[in-house]
Copies of this chain bind each other. A is one copy, B any other.
């Protein structure tokens, strides 16, 4: 598996903050954006990168788009990183 995109997605402070927010449950794009001092357009850009990296997924309800953590990818990531740990 190729985690380059995943690591790139994780290398930005805004995106890390978004992921931490989503630990408490899904949020709409607007709710996420309201927590930052940057425009909605920029937050949308960050969300698209997180989505491309499979770290989050979206659900459309009415004219809201809700974002949610994709926990399985984090599990895959842990397995990948462990190849560099001592015991292997």
Partner-B contacts on A (CB < 8 A): 3-4, 7-8, 10-13, 16, 19, 23, 69, 71-72, 74-75, 77-78, 81-86
Contact = CB atoms under 8 A, between A and B. Distances in A.
B16 A4 contact: yes
**Oligomer copy total:** 2
13 contacts: A4-B12, A4-B16, A10-B11, A19-B84, A69-B84, A71-B84, A71-B86, A74-B81, A74-B82, A74-B84, A78-B78, A78-B81, A78-B85
A71 to B, nearest CB: 4
A16 B74 CA distance: 18
A88 to B, nearest CB: 9
Given A4-B11, A7-B7, A85 B81 contact: no
